[in-house]
Structure 1
Amino acid sequence: MCGITGWIDWNSDLTKESDNLERMTDTLAPRGPDAAGTWISAHCALGHRRLSVMDPENGAQPMIRYTGDDKYVVVYNGELYNAPELKRELESRGRTFTTTCDTEVLLVAFMEWGRACVERFNGIFAFAIWDVTAQELFLARDRLGVKPLFFYRKDGLFIFGSEPKCILEHSAVKAEVGAEGLAEIFIIGPARTPGHGVYNNMSELRPGQCMVVNHAGVKTITYWQLRSQTHEHTVEETAEHVRELLKDTVERQLISDVPVCTLLSGGLDSSALTTIAVEYYKETGQGNVHTYSVDYRDNDKHFKAHAFQPNSDAPWIERMTSHLGTVHHPIQFDTPELVATLYNATLARDLPGMADVDASLLLFCHEIKKGATVAISGEAADEIFGGYPWFHRDEALNADTFPWSLATAMRADLLSPDIAAWIKPEEYIGDRYADAVAEVPHLDGEDEQRRRMRRMSYLNITRFMPTLLDRKDRMSMAAGLEVRVPFCDHRLVEYVFNIPWEIKTAGDREKGILRKALQGVLPDDVLWRKKSPYPKTHNPNYLTAVRGLLLDVLNDPSSPLLPLINVKKVRELAEADSASSNIPWFGQLMSGPQLFAYLYQVNVWLKEYKVSIG
Structure 2
Amino acid sequence: MCGFTGWIDWTEDLTKQSIILEKMTGTLANRGPDASGTWISPHCALGHRRLSVIDPANGAQPMVRTSEDDTYVLVYNGELYNAPELKRELEGLGRHFTTTCDTEVLLVAYMEWGPVCVEKFNGIFAFALWDSREQQLFIARDRLGVKPFFFAKQLGRFIFGSEPKALLAHPAVKPEVGPEGLAEIFIVGPARTPGVGVYRDLSELKPGQCAIVNRSGVKVSTYWELKSKPHTESVDETAKTVGDLLKDTVERQLISDVPLCTLLSGGLDSSALTSLAVNYYNETGQSNVHTFSVDYVDNDKHFKAHAFQPNADAPWIERMVSHLGTTHHSMVFDTPELVATLREAMLARDMPGMADVDASLLLFCREIKKEATVAISGEAADEIFGGYPWFHREEALNAGTFPWSLAAGMRADLLSQDVAAWIRPLEYIGDRYSDAIAEVPHLDGENEAARKMRQMSYLNITRFMPTLLDRKDRMSMAVGLEVRVPYCDHRLVEYVYNIPWEIKIAGDREKGILRKALEGVLPNDVLYRKKSPYPKTHNPNYLNAVRKQVLEIINEGTSPLLSLINVKKIRELAESEAASSNLPWFGQLMSGPQLFAWLLQVDMWLREYKVVIR
TM superposition score normalised by structure 1: 0.99
Q: Within 2, Cα distance between the matches of 1:52 and 1:541?
A: 40
Q: Does the 8 Å CA contact 2:253/2:484 hold for their aligned counterparts? A: yes
Instruction: Give CA-to-partner distance per residue, 1:465-487, whole Å, 9 cap, x none.
Output: 00000000000000100000000
Q: Does the 8 Å CA contact 2:411/2:587 hold for their aligned counterparts? A: no
User: Where does residue 356 of structure 1 map in the other structure?
Assistant: 356
User: Where does residue 128 of structure 1 map in the other structure?
Assistant: 128
Q: Within 1, Cα distance between the matches of 2:433 and 2:407?
A: 14
Q: What letter corresponds to residue 48 of structure 2 in structure 1?
A: H
User: Where does residue 457 of structure 2 map in the other structure?
Assistant: 457
Q: What letter corresponds to residue 533 of structure 1 in structure 2?
A: P
Three-state SS of the structure 2 residue aligned to 1:578 is: helix
Which 5+ residue runs of structure 2 have no aligned equivalent?
none
Distance 1:464 1:213, change over 3 A: same
Q: Within 2, Cα distance between the matches of 1:264 and 1:315?
A: 12
Q: Does the 8 Å CA contact 1:12/1:42 hold for their aligned counterparts? A: yes
User: Where does residue 73 of structure 2 map in the other structure?
Assistant: 73
User: Where does residue 548 of structure 2 map in the other structure?
Assistant: 548
Q: CA RMSD in A?
A: 0.7
User: Where does residue 93 of structure 1 map in the other structure?
Assistant: 93
Q: Within 2, Cα distance between the matches of 1:463 and 1:539?
A: 31
Q: Does the 8 Å CA contact 1:264/1:293 hold for their aligned counterparts? A: yes
Q: Within 2, Cα distance between the matches of 1:209 and 1:526?
A: 38
Q: Does the 8 Å CA contact 1:342/1:355 hold for their aligned counterparts? A: yes
Q: Within 2, Cα distance between the matches of 1:30 and 1:404?
A: 31
User: Where does residue 409 of structure 1 map in the other structure?
Assistant: 409
* TM superposition shift of 1:585: 4.5
Q: Does the 8 Å CA contact 1:583/1:589 hold for their aligned counterparts? A: no
* TM superposition shift of 1:155: 3.0
Distance 1:26 1:589, change over 3 A: closer
* TM superposition shift of 1:586: 4.7
Q: Within 1, Cα distance between the matches of 2:321 and 2:115?
A: 45
User: Where does residue 55 of structure 1 map in the other structure?
Assistant: 55
Three-state SS of the structure 2 residue aligned to 1:148 is: coil
Instruction: Give CA-to-partner distance per residue, 1:111-165, whole Å, 9 cap, x none.
Output: 0000000000000000000001111000000000000000011233210000000
User: Where does residue 279 of structure 2 map in the other structure?
Assistant: 279
User: Where does residue 320 of structure 1 map in the other structure?
Assistant: 320
Q: Which has the higher mean CA deviation after the structures are superposed, 318-327 or 571-580?
A: 571-580
The alignment-based identity, stated in percent, is 78
Matches within 5 A, 1:160-559: 160-559=160-559
Q: Within 1, Cα distance between the matches of 2:589 and 2:233?
A: 38
* TM superposition shift of 1:549: 1.6
Q: Within 2, Cα distance between the matches of 1:17 and 1:497?
A: 47
Q: Does the 8 Å CA contact 1:251/1:280 hold for their aligned counterparts? A: yes
User: Where does residue 580 of structure 1 map in the other structure?
Assistant: 580
Three-state SS of the structure 1 residue aligned to 2:75 is: strand
Q: Within 2, Cα distance between the matches of 1:554 and 1:233?
A: 59
Q: What letter corresponds to residue 476 of structure 2 in structure 1?
A: S
Q: Within 2, Cα distance between the matches of 1:444 and 1:371?
A: 51
Q: Within 2, Cα distance between the matches of 1:303 and 1:584?
A: 16
Q: Within 2, Cα distance between the matches of 1:488 and 1:590?
A: 25
Instruction: Give CA-to-partner distance per residue, 1:427-458, whole Å, 9 cap, x none.
Output: 10010000000000000000000000000000
Instruction: Give CA-to-partner distance per residue, 1:481-507, whole Å, 9 cap, x none.
Output: 000000000000000000000000000
Q: Does the 8 Å CA contact 1:404/1:586 hold for their aligned counterparts? A: no
Q: Within 2, Cα distance between the matches of 1:555 and 1:28?
A: 36
* TM superposition shift of 1:577: 1.7
Q: Within 1, Cα distance between the matches of 2:15 and 2:590?
A: 50
Q: Within 2, Cα distance between the matches of 1:255 and 1:225?
A: 27
Three-state SS of the structure 1 residue aligned to 2:375 is: strand
* TM superposition shift of 1:352: 0.2
Q: Within 2, Cα distance between the matches of 1:224 and 1:589?
A: 30
Q: Within 2, Cα distance between the matches of 1:239 and 1:175?
A: 49
Q: Within 2, Cα distance between the matches of 1:134 and 1:325?
A: 55
* TM superposition shift of 1:196: 0.4
Q: Within 2, Cα distance between the matches of 1:589 and 1:525?
A: 27
Three-state SS of the structure 2 residue aligned to 1:52 is: coil
Q: Within 1, Cα distance between the matches of 2:536 and 2:584?
A: 18
User: Where does residue 33 of structure 2 map in the other structure?
Assistant: 33
Q: Does the 8 Å CA contact 1:411/1:584 hold for their aligned counterparts? A: no
TM superposition score normalised by structure 2: 0.99
* TM superposition shift of 1:558: 1.7
Q: Does the 8 Å CA contact 2:586/2:595 hold for their aligned counterparts? A: no
Q: Does the 8 Å CA contact 2:404/2:589 hold for their aligned counterparts? A: no
* TM superposition shift of 1:589: 5.9
Q: Within 1, Cα distance between the matches of 2:593 and 2:297?
A: 17
Q: What letter corresponds to residue 241 of structure 2 in structure 1?
A: H
Instruction: Give CA-to-partner distance per residue, 1:297-335, whole Å, 9 cap, x none.
Output: 111011111110000000000000000000000000011
Matches within 5 A, 1:103-182: 103-182=103-182
Q: Does the 8 Å CA contact 2:378/2:486 hold for their aligned counterparts? A: yes
Three-state SS of the structure 2 residue aligned to 1:462 is: helix
Q: Within 1, Cα distance between the matches of 2:10 and 2:589?
A: 50
Q: Within 1, Cα distance between the matches of 2:156 and 2:581?
A: 50
Which 5+ residue runs of structure 1 have no aligned equivalent?
none
